[in-house]
Structure 1
Amino acid sequence: MRLLLFIPLFFLFMSCSGKYDKYKKTPEYISKASNSKEAYYNAYNETLKLWSSSFEELYIPTTYGIAHVIVSGPKKADPVVLLHGMNASSTMWYPNIESLSEDHRVFAIDFILEPGKSHLNHDIESIEEVNDWYEDVILALELENYHLIGASKGGWLATKLALNNKKNIKSLILLSPAQTFTWIKPSKDLFKNIAMIFSSEEKRIEQNLESMSSNSDLISDTYIKQYKLGLEIAPKNKFMSSMRPFSNEELMSLKMPVLVLIGDEDMLNNESTIEKAIELSHGKGEIIQNAGHFLSIDQSETVNEKMVTFLKGDN
Structure 2
Amino acid sequence: MRLFLLLAFFVLCVGCTDKYDKYKNPPEYITTPSASNAAYFEAYDETLKLWNVPYEELYIPTTNGIAHVIVSGPENADPVVLLHGMNASSTMWYPNIESLTKNHRVFAIDFILEAGKSYLYNDIESVEKVTDWYKEVLFALELDSFHVIGASRGGWLAVNLALDDQKKIKSLLLLSPAQTFTWIKPSTDLLKNIVTLFSSKEKQIEQSLKSMSSNVANISDAYIKQYKLGTELESENKFMTSMKPFSNDELKSLQMPVLVLIGDDDMINEKRTVEIANTLPKGKGEVIQNAGHFLSIDQAETVNAKMLDFLK
TM-score, normalization by structure 1:
0.98
Task: Give 2:169's aligned residue.
Answer: 169
Instruction: Give, in whole Å, the separation in 2 of the partners of 1:104 and 1:167.
Output: 20
Structure 1 residue 236: deviation in Å?
Answer: 4.5
Instruction: Give, in whole Å, the separation in 2 of the partners of 1:284 and 1:13.
Output: 46
1:1-315 to 2 correspondences below 5 Å: 1-312=1-312
Structure 1 residue 122: deviation in Å?
Answer: 0.6
Superposition RMSD on alpha carbons, in Å? 0.8
Instruction: Give, in whole Å, the separation in 2 of the partners of 1:249 and 1:80.
Output: 26
2:65 corresponds to which letter in structure 1?
Answer: G
The answer for unaligned runs of 5 or more in structure 1 is: none
- Secondary structure (helix, strand or coil) at the match of 1:255 reads coil
Which digits, 9 at most, give the CA deviation of each residue in 1:176-229, with x for residues without a partner?
A: 000000011100100010111111111110110010000000000000000000
- Secondary structure (helix, strand or coil) at the match of 1:181 reads coil
2:30 corresponds to which letter in structure 1?
Answer: I
Instruction: Give, in whole Å, the separation in 1 of the partners of 2:3 and 2:24.
Output: 32
Which digits, 9 at most, give the CA deviation of each residue in 1:77-111, with x for residues without a partner?
A: 00000000001000000000000011000000000
Instruction: Give, in whole Å, the separation in 2 of the partners of 1:11 and 1:308.
Output: 37
Instruction: Give, in whole Å, the separation in 2 of the partners of 1:16 and 1:247.
Output: 47
Which digits, 9 at most, give the CA deviation of each residue in 1:31-79, with x for residues without a partner?
A: 1111001100011011110011110000000111100000000000000
Instruction: Give, in whole Å, the separation in 1 of the partners of 2:291 and 2:182.
Output: 19
Give the conservation status (yes or no) of the 8 Å contact 1:87–1:234: no
2:99 corresponds to which letter in structure 1?
Answer: S
Instruction: Give, in whole Å, the separation in 2 of the partners of 1:26 and 1:122.
Output: 19
Structure 1 segments of 4+ aligned residues over 6 angstroms from their partners = none
- Secondary structure (helix, strand or coil) at the match of 2:8 reads helix
Query: How many pairs were matched up?
Result: 312
Which digits, 9 at most, give the CA deviation of each residue in 1:133-175, with x for residues without a partner?
A: 0000000000010000000000000000011121100000000
Instruction: Give, in whole Å, the separation in 1 of the partners of 2:261 and 2:48.
Output: 25
1:227 corresponds to which letter in structure 2?
Answer: Y
- Secondary structure (helix, strand or coil) at the match of 1:9 reads helix
Which digits, 9 at most, give the CA deviation of each residue in 1:274-300, with x for residues without a partner?
A: 000000000011000000000000000
- Secondary structure (helix, strand or coil) at the match of 1:309 reads helix
Give the fraction of aligned pairs with identical amino acids, expressed as a percent: 70
Instruction: Give, in whole Å, the separation in 1 of the partners of 2:212 and 2:259.
Output: 21
Give the conservation status (yes or no) of the 8 Å contact 1:155–1:177: yes
TM-score, normalization by structure 2:
0.99
2:295 corresponds to which letter in structure 1?
Answer: L
Instruction: Give, in whole Å, the separation in 2 of the partners of 1:114 and 1:235.
Output: 5
Which digits, 9 at most, give the CA deviation of each residue in 1:7-41, with x for residues without a partner?
A: 13322221222110000000001111110011000
1:137 corresponds to which letter in structure 2?
Answer: V
1:193 corresponds to which letter in structure 2?
Answer: N
Which digits, 9 at most, give the CA deviation of each residue in 1:207-258, with x for residues without a partner?
A: 1001000000000000000000000003253211111000111101100000
Instruction: Give, in whole Å, the separation in 1 of the partners of 2:84 and 2:200.
Output: 26
